[in-house]
Amino acid sequence: MADFIQQLVEGLGAGAIYASLALALVLIYRFTGIVNFAQGEMAMFATFIAWQLVQAGVPFWLALGATLAIAFGGGMLIERVVIRPVEGAPELALVIVTLGLFILVNAAAGWIWSFLIKDFPSPFPGGALDAGGVHLSYSTLGVLGVVAVVMGLLYILFRYTKIGLAMRAVASNPASARLLGIRVSGVLALGWGLAALVGAVSGVLVAPVLFLEPTMMGGVLIYAFAAATLGGFDSPVGAVVGGLVVGIAETLAGAYVGVIGSDLKIGVPLAVIIGVLLFRPQGLFGRAAVERA
């Protein structure tokens, strides 16, 4: 039993990371209707920036703050420069542009920092809390804490601030929002900036576990896709719940289903994605799209 709870806790820790990347995907999807295939690579790039700052002797938490600010600015810049020209284009064009961005960012990181794997310092102490035979490592607790803080701040932003209200207005109806005097284009850029920031959090959290390299986020992105699909691509709450569920499912399947083991764990998100899309395409918390012919 203690072993089972142990797996559960580890699943939650992994799930929190998927949840934050899934949240980034959902933010962009809600604002621009784009599934951003480059989200993981943007997070990876931000993580490299954090690594560079730490290497240069900046204290970790200061480096993290600077990285998040840079990620925010970078996300806004990408929306302005890369995404704006294809706004409202067919889905295929959007998918291809974000894939282009995926390839570009990945190669750029390899160019600047090489493809060799790097050790990323963990911001949390190494030990573990012992609670009735279950080891709660500080790093898992720290990950859960950081993700919870980020979610809380986002909730406050969207729920209680004027700019959050404007963002919700744009997400729900851009044309009416524009008529109300909201600068829609500015809000869209802000949405991308926020998403890049949230994604960067997931990158920094996952880097100590996976080691830092340009392909680091490839697998994480698939789990985040599964999480966002499970929760519903237009639901931030769904992304978080979906992330935790996928994290737990992955850990339990890897530990207890012999056929799956550690090498075929990537099949779990695949099964989740296909299952959800076949039986409940809008996800657990999403709204079903109504189509008018």
The two three-digit tokens of residue 102, written as one number: 């995926």
Stretch that binds another protein, among 50-58, 99-107, 131-139, 170-178 (CB under 8 A): 99-107
- Give dist(CA 74, CA 206) in Å, integer: 20
Q: How far is the CB of 262 from another protein (least distance, A)?
A: 10
Stretch that binds another protein, among 11-19, 101-109, 166-174, 249-257 (CB under 8 A): 101-109
**Quick one: which of 23, 43, 101, 190 contacts another protein (CB under 8 A)?**
101
117 near another protein, judged by CB under 8 A? no
DSSP one-letter string for 173-207: -HHHHHHTT--HHHHHHHHHHHHHHHHHHHHHHHH
- Give dist(CA 178, CA 102) in Å, integer: 31
218 near another protein, judged by CB under 8 A? yes
282 near another protein, judged by CB under 8 A? no
- Give dist(CA 168, CA 151) in Å, integer: 16
**Quick one: which of 31, 48, 225, 285 contacts another protein (CB under 8 A)?**
225
- Give dist(CA 146, CA 148) in Å, integer: 5
Q: How far is CA 11 from the centre of its chain?
A: 16
210 near another protein, judged by CB under 8 A? no
251 near another protein, judged by CB under 8 A? no
Q: Are 268 and 260 in contact (CB under 8 A)?
A: yes
Q: Sort residue 290 into left (φ over 0), alpha (ψ -120 to 50) or beta.
A: beta
Q: Are 137 and 127 in contact (CB under 8 A)?
A: yes
Q: How far is the CB of 169 from another protein (least distance, A)?
A: 24
Q: How far is the CB of 259 from another protein (least distance, A)?
A: 9
85 near another protein, judged by CB under 8 A? yes
**Which CB sits closer to another protein, 130 or 263?**
263
Residues that bind another protein (CB under 8 A): 35, 37, 82, 85-86, 89, 91-93, 95-97, 99-108, 110-111, 115, 218-219, 222, 225-226, 229, 263-264, 266-267, 269-270, 273-274, 277-278, 281, 293
